[in-house]
Structure formats: structure tokens, C-alpha cells
Amino acid sequence: MAALVLLPIEVSDAGWLQDILKSSSKQGKSSKHATSPKPASSAKRASSAKPAASSTPHTVRVAALGPAALNAALKPAAPTCDPSKFRIVLDVGHTAKSEGALSARNVAEFDFNRRLAERIEEKLKGEGFAETRLLVTEGKARPSLVRRVAAANDLHANLFLSIHHDSVPDKFLENWEFEGKKSHFSDRFSGYSVFVSRGNPDFKTSLQFAELVAKEMKAEGLQYAQQYAQPIMGRDQHPLLNKETGVYSYDQLIVLKTTRMPAVLLEAGSIINRDEELKMDSPERRDIISSGVTAAVKEFCDPRWAILGAL
Ligand SMILES: [Zn+2]
């Protein structure tokens, strides 16, 4: 794998979240993600990106257009790209040292993230996106965030996609025993979710890609995690930008806000939910999600693919 291994830097891991969060409340789900301290602005409904195309009606409509109108209709919101030159950075969330959430069966989120990101990388490269870069960062949590953003910026990536798996705030955790070990789970929530930051310098394009990813997840038959729109989540509540597909804003996430290219974070599914953990652990689910992400990248790179790709 073309993993970009980054040097660890020694900064105390303890309390890293408190360092960067305004709130100093007990460690919860959001400890998985580092945020910068500026409070989120109020929810603002974002307009939907270009809708998905089922091939038939769009094909008919395209065929009825003259050359000028056709060009306009097919004009991508983002520049049409050459897949062989288009560089997407697949950021493996967390590090071997700071592994993120722990699954119901005590497997580190980092392992799930790495396996899924590697599968996405394979699929993208198989589709001609030869410049796809898997970003595996070493070291402790907080410095790793700065390093992964710097790496993506230095790579002059066209797109940044951070891969994560979801858990719940501590207050929802229940006890069970797995393989003789006291363990924690919550079967209350499940599903994927897609996050963007309105602080990203190219929020509009970030949202456009997020919409494509979420649309493809939904098209794969997956359901999004609805709890982030609910007050019960407390400070983990986030504005829902698209209630059909599950795109949320998470404005202060460092990897989404400080990257100099459009950036999206995918929570692929819950690993604290006992049933969903088993699914997320399967090659079949990794294939489904990888296919969805790959379709989203192809569509982002060339919106004509959405219309003509099925032909
Ligand atoms: Zn995570």
C-alpha cells in the first residue's frame, strides 16, 4: 500500500480533547474527533448538491439539448478531472497509538478505518484514480491531526476523505461480557453519517462531495444515523444539512476545517452497536461502502458519469 507514514511527535496524549475543546465535560463520543474551540454557528440549511441521475430520464433530456445547452447542462460544478491525475487523500482516522473508539467486541476503530480505507483505495485505483493516497498517520491523537492536515496540504490533494467508524457518548454505554471480558455496547443507534465543516475554505465543494457520498450510501441500501440531529446528543448534536441522505455539518473538526481542499468525513457505521459491528467487520460491507465512495468520486470528478455512466 502506498501508505504515507508520518513521524510521531511527542505530546502528551492525556487530556488532548480538553486542550482543544472549549467544553471540558467528560470524555464522550466526541473525544474521537478533535475540534477547534470556536463554537459552531447556528444551523443553516444548505442547498442540495446536484441531484442523482437515474439514467433514463436524464439521458432523454440530455439528448434533447443542443450542443451549447448540453455543455451547460453537463458543466461540472467542480472542474472535470482526469482520473489519472486526480488526487484524493483517504485519511485513516486515528492512529495505532490513539486508536479512536473501541467496538462492542473490543476492536479498535483504527483497525476498522484502516481496512475500509485500504479497500476504498483498491477500488479507486482499479477505476483509474492512480493518484489516490492512503494517509496513515502515526503518533498521538492531537499532533496527528495537525500532521495529517499538513500532509494532505503538502500533497496538493484535490479532495480529502477521512474514514471513521462511529460510537456513542459514554452515557449511552451498557455493559456486557464478550469472550469473558467486561465490555461495552449500545444497540440504540446505527448507520453511517457524512460530515462537512462550514469553516472549510471550499465548503461549497465539500458539501457537493458529501452529498454524493451520502447519496451513494443511501443508494447502497444503507441508512444514516439520525441521532446527531437530536437534542439527546447534547454537545454531539449537529445541524442536519440533508435529511434525506444524512449530511451533517461539524464545523469545528480540525481535519475538515483546516484542510486547504474540499474535505469530508465519513462515519461508515457504528461499531459499538453489536449487530452493526459484525456487518462493518465483513468484506461484503466494506465492498458496498467502497463501491459507494468510488461512485461518488467518479461523479464528483465528472458529473457526466452520473448521467452516462450506466450506459
Ligand atoms: Zn473516529
The pLDDT tens digits of the residues spanning 249-261 come to 999 999 999 999 9
| Of 306, 310, 281, 311, residue with least CA distance to 76 | 306
Instruction: Read off the pLDDT of residues 183-224 as tens digits, 9 standing for 90 and up.
Output: 999 999 999 999 999 999 999 999 999 999 999 999 999 999
CA of 6 to the centre of ligand 1 (A): 18
CA of 86 to the centre of ligand 1 (A): 26
Cβ proximity of 213 and 300 under 8 Å: no
CA of 266 to the centre of ligand 1 (A): 9
Instruction: Read off the pLDDT of residues 282-299 as tens digits, 9 standing for 90 and up.
Output: 999 999 999 999 999 999
Q: Give me the pLDDT at residue 292, please.
A: 98
pLDDT tops 50 at residue 244:
yes
CA of 166 to the centre of ligand 1 (A): 6
Cβ proximity of 270 and 190 under 8 Å: yes
CA of 112 to the centre of ligand 1 (A): 10
CA of 68 to the centre of ligand 1 (A): 45
CA of 182 to the centre of ligand 1 (A): 22
Instruction: Read off the pLDDT of residues 40-82 as tens digits, 9 standing for 90 and up.
Output: 343 333 344 343 333 333 333 333 344 444 444 444 444 578 9
CA of 22 to the centre of ligand 1 (A): 19
How many whole angstroms separate alpha carbon 311 and alpha carbon 306?
Answer: 10
CA of 285 to the centre of ligand 1 (A): 18
How many whole angstroms separate alpha carbon 124 and alpha carbon 297?
Answer: 8
Mean pLDDT of all residues in the chain?
A: 81
How many whole angstroms separate alpha carbon 8 and alpha carbon 242?
Answer: 37
CA of 194 to the centre of ligand 1 (A): 12
CA of 226 to the centre of ligand 1 (A): 17
Q: Give me the pLDDT at residue 51, please.
A: 39
Instruction: Read off the pLDDT of residues 124-140 as tens digits, 9 standing for 90 and up.
Output: 999 999 999 999 999 99
Cβ proximity of 149 and 259 under 8 Å: yes
CA of 165 to the centre of ligand 1 (A): 6
Q: Give me the pLDDT at residue 34, please.
A: 64
Q: Report the percentage of the chain scoring pLDDT > 70.
A: 72
CA of 93 to the centre of ligand 1 (A): 6
Which H or E run includes 135?
Answer: strand 133-136
Q: How big is the chain by its Cα radius of gyration, in Å? A: 19
The answer to whether the Cα torsion of 63, 66, 70, 72 is positive or negative is negative
CA distances from 250 to 50, 186, 244, 303 (A): 21, 23, 18, 26
| Residue listed under C-alpha cell 486515528 | 94
The three three-digit cell numbers of residue 143, written as one number = 499532533
CA of 54 to the centre of ligand 1 (A): 33
- Show the DSSP H helices in the chain as ranges: 16-20, 55-63, 67-74, 109-126, 141-154, 203-219, 254-257, 274-280, 283-301, 304-308
CA of 137 to the centre of ligand 1 (A): 13
With 0-12 / 13-18 / 19 or more C-beta atoms within 10 angstroms meaning exposed / middle / buried, residue 163 is buried
CA of 299 to the centre of ligand 1 (A): 26
